[in-house]
Structure 1
Amino acid sequence: MNLKVIAFDADDTLFVNETYFLETEQKFCGLMEDYLSHQGISQELFKIEIDNLEIYGYGIKAYILSMIEAAMRISNNTISVEVIQKIIEYGKELLDKPIILLDGVEETLKALHGNYKLVVATKGDLLDQRRKLHNSGLGHYFHHIEVMADKQEKDYSDLIKRLDIQAEEFFMIGNSLKSDVLPVLAIGGHAVHIPFHTTWAHERIDHKIEHDNFYSFANITEVLSLVKLNK
């Protein structure tokens, strides 16, 4: 591989994220359990989240609005102001969660830094993602931070143009096969899947990937075996 840029997803690739959302979802289900089963509440919330993606995009603020809408729909618009206030509190708690780096992340970034241009390519709310990256202490490793509205082929193509490189010089590392791997492979880039122990249902795929530019490792440090390091 003749690489110039190595890009990293943020949530559940660099630091913990989905675990916090699952914890919040359980609290939301408990809050609304007088109206519906936990499974039914989770299904309704997920449906509303997906329906709202084009309007709100990804991130915690979008999740708060979807929880409020789900609560209103599940209760047939009978929930109290106190319940809405509680949901907002859950969202603020999510925004205030500690940043926990995943195993091997800083070791990998230290090894790659100075050898390649390192980039963060992630989805979500711009303010929240920048705050998390700053609080993680990893910001100084990265040349560029790209908070994308979505991660489709065009989004990656646009990023590659801004970086002034060819697709074959781009290497993406992430935990989502759907967002971090498939669109990058489709435009001619290289991609590594580092699975996280839990994945949002919207990011799952049900087929195996076979591609010359695709790799899958259990730990992010294994990426170092694929690339050239000068120091």
Structure 2
Amino acid sequence: MRVRTDQKRQEIVNAAEQLFEEHGYDRTSMSMISERVGGSKATLYGYFKSKEELLHAVLDYDVNEQADRLMGEFLNEPDLRQGLVKLGVAYLMRRLSSLPMANIRNVANQPADSNIGKHFYETVLGPAWQRLAKRFELLMHEGKLRRADPWVATMHWKGLTEWDMFEKRLLGAIKGPDPVEIERISSLAADAFLRLYGPELKEQRSNRATRAAIKAVS
């Protein structure tokens, strides 16, 4: 009776990830994966029942491992703006690198009736963004961000940070992430985000209260 191990499972995921990037999902066979791992197809199917199930594992590993790393960098930065800049830089450098782009293309190229994309968003990508939303919600509770819908704030941060870089990379208009440009974009995104969601200063609150009082008696 063969014993399945986490190490072997990860070896299979890593091999599949490499082959999906090199050849694309459709042109990669289970035989190619088992050959890359150095085992039999029977062993491979003992861990994953299908190539689609293996793709789900690749996507889950790619997104969740990186999301946890990025969140760790963000949480460890005492200055909120600097934390947002570092988060933006790390996110874009990863988002625009070859492997995540290959994974996105693999998912996007599936037939319209495939559930791979839907499953990927509902079980991997969506929950990753929800974790950032929960962090923003905590910052709102601590008074470091203005009270708002945490999910909306997260999507605003995503849009401000991605700029048009994702479309350019996806369409081949750029060959890869430019560290200088990404630093600039992430800084601008952090500043814009804090203008939207940064805490109100005492003077701003006082001015707002004054305007409200004037309006009430006019």
TM-score if structure 2 supplies the norm length? 0.32
Specify which structure has the bigger relative contact order, considering alpha-carbon pairs within 8 angstroms and separated by 6 or more residues.
Answer: 1
Normalised by the length of structure 1, the TM-score is 0.31
Q: Which has the higher helix share?
A: 2
Q: Which has the higher strand share?
A: 1
Structure with bigger gyration radius: 2
